[in-house]
Amino acid sequence: MQIIWRDSAPAAEYEEARVGRVFNHRRPDRFPLAVVKATCQEDIIAAVKLAKAKNCRLAVRSGGHSWAAWSVRDNSILLDLGNYKQLDVDPATRTARATPSMTGRELNGVLIKEHNLMFPGGHCPDVGLGGFLLQGGMGWNCRNWGWACERVQAVDVVTAQGDVLHCNATQNRELYWAARGAGPGFPGVVSKYHLELIPYPRDGFRSSGYIYPIRLYREAFSWILQATPTSDEDTEIAVVAQYPEGMDELCLFVLFVTMKHDPAAAEAALRPLHDSRPAGAIVEWFCETDSLEKQYENQFKANPEGHRYCAENAYIRNDADVPAVLEEAFTTLPHRKAFALWYAMYPCSRRKLPDMALSMQSDHYFALYTVWEEARDDARCQGWVADVMQKVAPHAVGAYLGDSDFQVRKTKFWADDNARRLMGLRRRFDPEGRICGYLDKGDTSGVRGLAIESEVKL
C-alpha cells in the first residue's frame, strides 16, 4: 500500500495523487491529508483504520469521473482504488466479480472478446463501476433493460469500522439496499461487485442517426416523443444538441442504437422510426453496422480528456411540454464542445422498481454537459448552466445523482421514504461520519447526510 502524505511528499507527486485521476480539469481547491493507493481489499481495510487512527474522514475514488470531484476532500484520507483491478468471470452462470475501479470499457473488453457477454455499464468508456453503480447506473439501453444496479447480485463491503461484509438480498440486506442508489453517501467502501451479465448481441449493435438543423428542433423532438412509447425493447433513444464534427452549425442529433441477434431483427426495430422521420435532415444513416466499442469511441470524443466541465440534470415531469421546456437548453449552447442531452427512459420509468435506494425517475432524462478549455470561460459557462436550470426547475421532479453537484443546488434524489431510510442507515452504519459522504456546500452534511427535499429546488 502506497501512502502519499501532503506534508512530506514532493509537491508534484502529491498533486498528481490528489487530482491526476480527476476527469474534470476544473480542479477543486481541496486538500486531503494523504492519498492511499490501494491494490487489494486489505489495503482498503488498512486505509479505513488509518483514517480512524488519524481521527479524520475517508474519501473514495473509483474512476475519478465525478464532475464535482467528490473524492477530493479537505483533511481526509483519499482512498484511490485506481490500481485495484480484478475481474473474475463465470460464463456458465453469466456472472462476474469486478472491483470498483474497473471501467465499462475494461470490463466489456474482456466480456465480449472472451465470453460474448456484456454488462450495461456507463456510456463514457472510462467511468468506473464504483460511483456509477452506487448512483444507480443509467447504463446502455436503460429505458428497456433497466438500471445497471438491478444487475448487482451482491457487494463486498468494508464498513466504516473496518469489517468486511458480503451483502445481498438475504444477508446484510440493508447495506445491499443502500448500495443500489445511495451514491457517495454509502456508509462503507465497496470492494467488489457481483454482477449479472447479459449476452452480447450476435449481430452486435446497429444504429440509425439523423442530424437536423436546429431550426427543425420542434419537429424532430416531437417526432421522437411520439415514437418512443412504441419503440423496440432493445433500442436506445437519445436526442443531442451539439456542433457535429466538421460542422459550424448547431444541430439536433437523433440517435437510435439497437442491440439484436440478427440483422433482420435490427432492421425491423429501426424501420418504423426511419419511415416516420420528418424531412429535412442534413445527414442521416439507417441501420448501419455498429458496436459497443464504436459507441465508446463516440462517447470519448464527446467527453474529451483535459477539459473543464459543468454538468447538470433533471427528470422532467411526464406531462410537461418537453420541447418547450428544453428549447433554450438545446438551442443556445455556450461553447462548441458543450452538448445537451435528452434520454428516453420510458418504459423503465413506468414500472415498479425493486426494493433499493434508487427511486427517482421519469420518462424524460435531461442533462447538460458544458465543456470548455480555458479557466477564463468558467463564469460564462457555469452562469449559462445555472440560468437554464433555473428555468427548467418548475417542470422537473428531481435529479440523477451521477450528473449532480450537491454544492450548487438542492433537489430530490430519492422518494421521500427512501431518502429517510437511507439517511438513517448512514447514521447507523457510520455513526462517526468516517466516510465523507455527500459533498454539499461547505462540506457540512456529515453523519446526517443530505436534507430530504420534498419540493424540487433546482
Tell me the per-residue pLDDT of 368-397, one tens digit each, with 9 for 90 and over: 999 999 999 999 999 999 999 999 999 999
- Tell me how many domains the chain contains: 3
Give the mean pLDDT of 243-259.
96
Residues 265, 341, single domain; the answer is: yes
Statement: residue 457 has pLDDT above 80: no
Residue type, 388: V
Q: Are residues 362 and 247 in the same domain?
A: yes
How does residue 451 score in pLDDT terms, banded at 50, 70 and 90? confident
User: Whose grid coordinates read 434508487?
Assistant: 358
Residues 184 and 296 in one domain: no
What is the DSSP pairing of strand 57-61 with strand 76-80? parallel
Phi, psi of 290 (to 5 degrees): -140, -175
Q: Give the residue from 25, 22, 60, 68 showing the smallest Cα distance to 403.
A: 68
User: Are both 223 and 365 inside the same structural domain?
Assistant: yes
Mean pLDDT over 15-41 rounds to 98
- All three cell numbers of 236, joined, read 436506445
3-state secondary structure of 284: strand
Domain annotation covers residue 231: yes
Q: Is residue 456 part of a domain?
A: no
pTM: predicted TM-score of the whole model, two decimal places: 0.96
Question: Does the residue 407 lie in any domain?
Answer: no
Confidence of residue 458 (pLDDT cuts 50, 70, 90): very low
Report the pLDDT value the prediction gives residue 197, as an integer from 0 to 100. Answer: 98
Statement to judge: residues 303 and 168 lie in one domain: no
In this predicted structure, what is the pLDDT of residue 454?
Answer: 52
Contact criterion met (CB below 8 Å) for 99 and 86: yes
* Residue 181 sits in the same domain as residue 48: no
**Lowest-confidence range among 254-263, 313-322, 345-354, 449-458?**
449-458
Q: Which domain, by its residues, includes 103?
A: 87-199
Please check whether residues 76 and 100 belong to one and the same domain: no
Segment 112-128 shows an average pLDDT of: 96
pLDDT at 338 over 70: yes
Question: Does residue 447 lie in a domain region?
Answer: no
Residue 452 has pLDDT above 80, yes or no: no
Q: What is the mean pLDDT of the chain?
A: 96
The CA distances from residue 266 to 25, 203, 240, 249, 440, in Å, are 39, 8, 22, 31, 45
Q: Are residues 184 and 219 in the same domain?
A: no
Please report the pLDDT score of residue 440 as a whole number: 95
Instruction: Flag whether 417 is in a domain.
Output: no
Q: Is residue 161 part of a domain?
A: yes
**Residue 222 covered by a domain:** yes
Contact 131, 82 (CB under 8 A): no
List, for residues 141-170, the tens digit of each pLDDT value: 999 999 999 999 999 999 999 999 999 999
pLDDT surpasses 70 at 70: yes
